[in-house]
Amino acid sequence: MGSQSHISTFLLYLLSLISWSLVIGERCNGKEPIIFNFGDSNSDTGGLLAGLGLPVGPPNGRTFFNEPTGRFCDGRLAIDFLCESLNASYLSAYLESLAPNFKNGANFAIAGSATLPPFQPFALNIQVSQFLRFKTRTLQLIKKDASLGSSLPSENGFQEALYAFDIGQNDLSHAFSKNLTYQQVIRKIPTILSQIKSAIELIHQQGGRKFWVHNTGPLGCLPQKVAMFGGKNVALDAAGCLSYFNEAAKVLNLGLRRVCAELRAELHDATIIYVDIYAIKYDLIVNYSKYGFESPLMACCGYGGPPFNFNDKVRCGQSGYINGRMVSAEACKEGLRFVSWDGIHYTEAANAIISSKILSTNYSQPPLRFDWFCST
């Protein structure tokens, strides 16, 4: 009876998401929704694969695309569901050279990206530089051949576009992986925030006026982190997550919220939406059974079994030697409902619920609908 209740709850959330998609799709007033996204693997739709040729092999993509697409997920990411809500195409990676579709914008997000250190491959400021090149080249091409305007954004399109940011998780993750103390990690946060603020200011100088900013999720709840950094003397919260990792994420998010408020005060002609992704994801983990999930701190695809099913030496879809024995990190059976896909990233099922909560506007400040940028 309990499992049927969980399934029913999940179906209600999917129906809610579908209904939002239909409603929002009708509210763009015939305009072409254009999104430019900047971030890391949470929203990378193939950038790492296109840019460095690094394979993101099976079983990634098995649930929806039926093949790997460069996404670190069994199916769709939150950004994919948000595009669906606008009846827009999925965002093509900026670096994709074979049959990209830039009609609805471009995705500059690359797995592993952070804000620091700047000027490293695919750091946030490099992604913004790539956008500036994309914009300049696009307008040059349209000027030479007006017919290209049907497949590329116009100058007005760049002004009316939504500029989305989802970055910062790797800054904290990289810092903790270097065995920095909690206080040393916290001291890095002002510089992280300054990079995000500078990126928004630069795009504003280029005519961008509509911004969508995700804060970072509960880093200490990722199976990877609990498996690698947990222990007898490590403080865990009530959900079993690493307390000091999550506290660092909260400090970053508080600062990011203030940055968004500062930008609203400074950029009077801009609209800046701050979205509390942390609250959405933490609720999903704490109340996992309510949403029909099981084992919220265990990866679907990994090696090692309960409680985390994660081993950094053999990640999802890979094989390798552990204690002299060849082993493989395989995915759980299809149909089983996990929050975490590979110990670091969320499953499509989790992303569907995350997206439905984003679309609800209950976690947005100010609480504008996601389609506001293309319906006015």
CATH of the domain at 264: 3.40.50.1110
**270 with 264: CB under 8 angstroms?**
yes
| 146 falls within a domain | yes
φ/ψ of 365, rounded to 5, equals: -135, 115
User: Domain for residue 331, yes or no?
Assistant: no
Arithmetic mean of pLDDT, 349-369: 97
- C-alpha 171/C-alpha 113 separation (Å) is 8
Q: Is residue 145 part of a domain?
A: yes
327 part of a folded domain = no
Task: Please indicate, yes or no, if residue 320 is contained in any of the structural domains.
Answer: no
Q: What does the pLDDT look like over 127-151, one tens digit per residue?
A: 999 999 999 999 999 999 999 988 9
- 64 contacts 81 by C-beta, under 8 angstroms: no
Answer for the pair 48, 336: CB distance below 8 angstroms, yes or no: no
**Range 305-328 average pLDDT:** 96
Tell which residue, 272, 338, 334, has the closest CA to residue 300. Answer: 338
**Whether residue 360 has pLDDT greater than 90:** yes
For residue 371, which phi and psi values (nearest 5 degrees)?
Answer: -85, 5
Q: Which of 21, 41, 43, 295 is catalytic?
A: 41
Proportion of the chain above pLDDT 70, given as a percent: 93
Cα–Cα nearest to 69, from 56, 59, 81: 56
Residue 351: inside a domain, yes or no? yes
User: 344 to each of 221, 263, 310, 315, how far by Cα in Å?
Assistant: 9, 31, 9, 10
| Interval 37-58: pLDDT, tens | 999 999 999 999 999 998 899 9
41 carries an active-site annotation: yes
* Number of domains within the chain: 1
The mean per-residue pLDDT over the stretch 232-244 comes to 94
User: Which residues constitute the domain of residue 19?
Assistant: 2-299+337-375
The answer to whether 74 touches 63, Cβ cutoff 8 Å, is yes
Give the DSSP letter of residue 92.
P
Q: Tell whether 318 is covered by a domain.
A: no
Quote the CA–CA distance of 80 and 187 in Å, as a whole number: 34
pTM: 0.93
Residue from 6, 204, 214, 345 carrying the catalytic annotation: 345
Do residues 115 and 173 make contact, with C-beta atoms less than 8 angstroms apart? no
Residue pair 353/236 in contact (Cβ under 8 Å)? The answer is no
pLDDT, tens digit, for every residue of 311-320?
A: 999 999 999 9
Is 120 domain-assigned?
yes
**Among 44, 74, 171, 342, the one annotated catalytic:** 342
88 close to 157: Cβ distance less than 8 angstroms: no
Give me 256's structure tokens: 């990011």
User: 125, 118 in Cβ contact below 8 A?
Assistant: yes
